[in-house]
Amino acid sequence: METKEKINKWDYIKIKSFCTAKETVNKTARKPTAWENIFANDITNRSLISKIYRELIQLNKRKIIQSKWAKDLNRHFSKEYIQKARRHMKISSKSLIIQEMQIKTTMRYHLTPVRMAIINKSTNNKCWRGCGEKGTLLHCWWECRLVQPLWKTVWSFLKKLKMELPFDPVISLLGIYTKKTEKPIRKDICSPMFIAAQFTIAKIWKQPKCP
């Protein structure tokens, strides 16, 4: 018992001298990282966990957009575009359900025939909607001829609202508004419509019908 106390006291002295040493103070006087801010400013565990979670999502999101989406869509995303996609998630984060959808789409959460075929070790990776094509993620969200009419409807509706956007999955799925358009684009109108379309597609994800 006595030795234990002695050790504790010794530890205390060591820690104290470490903290007060001028050198250490200078070393730690740098700017705190985002992670340190998260840990330092949080009072409750619950919000701490959700903040860590969110930060991890942001990190992963960048990676996934940079590698997987870029490969699928056969294009490169600049830093600026990735920033746009991340900001997009923040804008639509008022509603948890919408935020969830946004995350699931960007993070490529939805199961596809291609992934299911790998999981089940089968060779059938055809689109579940029965169009005969290979069921990749991009196919299920965008390319499938049974999904295209829905997107076309969304675009023609936006056109009626005097908003002409390029017919591009990057805009509707990742929230990256690529080109500068002549007329200003009301993202507050466009984005909810794209998300609604996403919900419609996701709802009948596995059924062989037109959304």
User: Binding mask 134-153 vs Zn ion (x if CB under 5 A, - otherwise)?
Assistant: ----------x---------
Find the shortest distance in angstroms from Cβ 173 to Zn ion. Answer: 16
Half-sphere exposure of 52 (CA within 13 A, CB side): 9
User: Which of residues 77 and 142 has its CB atom nearest to Zn ion in the complex?
Assistant: 142
Select from 131, 150, 193, 204 the one that contacts Zn ion (CB under 5 A).
131
CA distance 42 to 112: 38
Of residues 106, 97, 104, 74, the one with CA closest to residue 176? 106
Select from 92, 129, 138, 211 the one that contacts Zn ion (CB under 5 A).
129
- Total chain residues near Zn ion (CB under 5 A): 5
- Of the chain, the end-to-end C-alpha distance in Å amounts to 72
- Which listed range, 30-38, 40-48, 102-110, 121-129, lies at the site for Zn ion (CB under 5 A)? 121-129
User: Which of residues 92 and 105 has its CB atom nearest to Zn ion in the complex?
Assistant: 105
CB proximity list for 118: less than 8 A, separation 6 or greater: none
CA distance 80 to 62: 11
Find the shortest distance in angstroms from Cβ 135 to Zn ion. Answer: 6
Find the shortest distance in angstroms from Cβ 174 to Zn ion. Answer: 20
Select from 127, 158, 190, 197 the one that contacts Zn ion (CB under 5 A).
127
Structure-token match 């018992």, residue found: 1
